[in-house]
Amino acid sequence: MTECALRTIGEIGIDGGVSPPDLERLDRAWRCLSAVRRVECALDHLPGRHVLSSSFGMQAAVMLHLVTQVEPRIPVIFVDTGYHFDETYRFVDSLCDRLDLNLHVARAEISPAWQEVRHGRRWERGREALESYNRQTKVEPMQRALEVLDAGTWFSGLRRSQAGTRAGIGFVTRQWRRVKVHPIADWDDREVHRYLTRHRLPYHPLRAQGYLSIGDRHSTRSIHEVDDEEKLRFFGLMRECGLHEAG
């Protein structure tokens, strides 16, 4: 680990109460570290129980491999909306077997079928209804999972190059009163591809069919179905589902 990172950690004296200025200083220090060193640093010095979230999307194998090579039994949270592609569920099973993941599945308290009886197909009724659907099926289950696991630090695979909404993401931030770590925030698609190739890890199987970003089957489109990449998810109404917004 580089001297700049060690000195900053020592000065901050992280003990579970991490202030925004502390995080800003740590974020600056992490610029000179590799992704794996950022993971090691977070595991050694950031507060509480550590967890990793994964959507098991296009490039999910990178973060799942990167973090579990350092901390094999870290809890991995997967939010199951009940509407994932069949290929996604198979991808989850495949990576769990290959990487021996400690998987924790989070679901809404009300089943997808019951939600449709009560609210209809909310993803077809505009932005406000779609936000309500995302909140009930994704955000609330994730928040409950973090509480149940007593998470203090949460790893995520967000990258700045993924979307304009993520262009300013830091290596270490706060969300929902927890420290959130993005070890590969500065990676581009070429670095992701090199990592997958080096470790013989797979992309999501739907990549071969032209899917660039993968979520629920009812609101995900392949590049062959749209005239604008902004419409690949959520019909172009939004880019984020709420799981990764600051708060």
Residues 105-154: tens digit of each pLDDT: 999 999 999 999 999 999 889 889 989 999 999 999 999 999 999 999 99
Tell whether the model's pLDDT for residue 156 goes beyond 80: yes
Name which residue leads in pLDDT, 200 or 8. 200
pTM to 2 decimal places? 0.86
CA triple 158-163-167, angle to 5 deg = 70
> Regarding the domain delimited by 47-236, which CATH topology (the fold level of the hierarchy) does it fall under?
Rossmann fold (3.40.50)
pLDDT band at 35 (very low <50, low <70, confident <90, very high): very high
Domain boundaries, the chain: 47-236
For the question of residue 241 being annotated catalytic, the response is yes
One of 4, 41, 96, 241 is an active-site residue; which one?
241
pLDDT band at 228 (very low <50, low <70, confident <90, very high): confident
Cα–Cα distances (Å) from 234 to 29, 126, 203, 225, 239, in that order, read 36, 10, 22, 13, 7
